[in-house]
Homo-oligomer: A and B are copies of this chain.
């Protein structure tokens, strides 16, 4: 049977928290269409490459981050007929969550890769193609996954304090959480946090115990968005 030919790409929504702000990795486009606009990093899937492998490859090209240092999951696929004016491109978007990095690294085909606050990008029409929609869906996915999975830890370094984790939730959700109730809930939820022997005073005040992410994949009961503080 005859069938049309498509180009297939992967695009990445790489989120991290920098300066108490949710930020996303973007590249500046060097050529038309959308020349000089920002875009999500991405690229063509290779001839003999799996989709997730392509996403991991692009991620490493842009950030030097490898699987195991980031959470990477498929987000959604976008294929409206004229989303790229040059040709019919279907893109499989992936969502990556990472701890704050030393420095983003410029990739092969990316003019410059840099972190930019999500809110700024969604307000201004600064993103090329349908990338604002993709970013929006990625952020919503991250927000809801924080509620019922332990993915908040994906934004933290390997060892972190409870209040560092709490700030992740506050930034991603845009709410304030009661530090005392959050602490109890996070530490009492079986399998969520694994205590280490170490403490730190890097957040000021009394030394805080350091934790690692536990092994569970779902939080029960979930960590819903409470209020105030």
Contacts and interface: CB of A to CB of B under 8 A. Distances in A.
A139 B79 CA distance: 24
A144 to B, nearest CB: 9
A44 B4 contact: yes
B80 A50 contact: yes
A228 interface: no
Interface in A58-103: 74, 76-81, 88, 90, 92
A46 interface: yes
Nearest to A220: B224
A32 interface: no
A47 interface: yes
Contact of A4 (B47, B76, B78, B109): B47
When all copies of this chain in the complex are counted, the total is 2
Contact of A51 (B4, B46, B47, B77): B77
A77 B77 contact: yes
Interface stretch (A5-13, A16-24, A162-170, A182-190): A5-13
Given A45-B79, A77-B77, A90 B50 contact: no
Q: How large is the interface on A (under 10, 10 to 19, 20 to 34, 35 or more residues)?
A: 20 to 34
A44 to B, nearest CB: 4
A109 B3 CA distance: 14
Contact of A3 (B7, B76, B79): B7
Interface string A117-130: 00000000000000
Interface in A1-55: 1, 3-8, 44-51
B3 A81 contact: no
A88 B54 CA distance: 15
Interface of A: 1, 3-8, 44-51, 74, 76-81, 88, 90, 92, 109
Closest 8 CB pairs of A and B: A5-B5, A3-B44, A51-B79, A77-B77, A4-B47, A6-B8, A48-B81, A77-B92
